[in-house]
Amino acid sequence: MTSFAYLAPVYALCSAFLFALSNHFTNIGLEGTDARTGTLVSIAASAIVYWLISPIFVESWYWLTWACLLFAAVGIIRPSLSSVLATSSIKIMGPTLTSALTAATPLFGAFFAITFLGEQLTVPIAIGTMAVVAGAVVGSWSTQGVKRSWPLWALSLPLGASLIRALGHVVTKYGLVEVPSPSFAVMVSNTVSLMVALAAFKMQSRPFVGTRQSHMWFIGAGVANALSLQFLNSALQIGDLVAVVPIVSATPVFTMLMGYFWFGREVITARTLWTIALIVPGVILVAVAGRG
């Protein structure tokens, strides 16, 4: 771990904040278009932004490395596939519940980090991770029991997105060892993901639908998501995956607070307060332990 490892929790929190913002932009955009079109617009916006600023951070030798291939491999599944799953989940289950269920990412991330990266899961990080996951469960728990407005199979959407993201984290961290450029990793992954999304869109002969306003919301979501990945990759570059991913999973807290204070789409309840009471201390515990 580098001498700048103390920045990893800060970067991870910035990533969580921006990802929550992207969730809300996506939710608003879905009022005027479908998930496939919205995802395509979002990924395109991310890729275009990074290509426009690429002269600032890209060096020619980056393209001739194994890391470039790893970043490209990540782009095949993230954000194209993970975004489709997450966007569809938001459409069916809403942004807060989607964010809560995708908080399973730390569990997948911890397994992959220990298995493939040889990282150590300390007791404080384990406790903090479980607190974050518990907060996510509380956040998704319905006081009405099994009563819900969405089908049970919809759970596979956010959980599938979580698994894909965790796997992408591991591969990205491997690549950043050879090419220490989080921006390059985002650009390559998003570019490949855009090509995958375009190919799927064309093969399925789907119409490009939606209003200009809805597309603008998805452009905003794409930019926010790209910046979120930028901060996430920066955190992975200098910190351990087992300590970074749980902090990024503070997204539900930001999603709920934004929904209440900015977007007027959430109601603060006792369940919300319990979610915050579990996730925030869990994140703090992981952040402090991860610096040690």
Total-model pTM = 0.81
Of 29, 6, 35, 15, the C-alpha closest to 246 is 15
User: Percent of the chain at pLDDT above 90?
Assistant: 31
**CA 128 – CA 134 distance, rounded (Å):** 10
At residue 153, the pLDDT reads 81
Of 280, 291, 292, the C-alpha closest to 128 is 280
**CA 180 – CA 176 distance, rounded (Å):** 5
At residue 79, the pLDDT reads 65
Of 94, 179, 104, the C-alpha closest to 142 is 94
142, pLDDT greater than 60 = no
Chain centroid offset of residue 231 CA? 11
pLDDT digits (tens, 9 = 90+) for 207-260: 888 888 999 999 999 999 999 999 999 999 998 888 888 888 778 788 888 877
**Which segments of 249-292 does DSSP mark as H helices, in order?**
251-261, 270-290
At residue 62, the pLDDT reads 97
User: H-helix or E-strand containing 109?
Assistant: helix 105-112
Indicate the domain borders of the chain: 7-145+160-290
At residue 116, the pLDDT reads 85
145, pLDDT greater than 50 = no
Across all residues in the chain, what is the average pLDDT? Answer: 84
119, pLDDT greater than 80 = yes
Query: Is the preceding omega at residue 252 within 30 degrees of 0, hence cis?
Result: no
201, pLDDT greater than 90 = no
At residue 147, the pLDDT reads 46
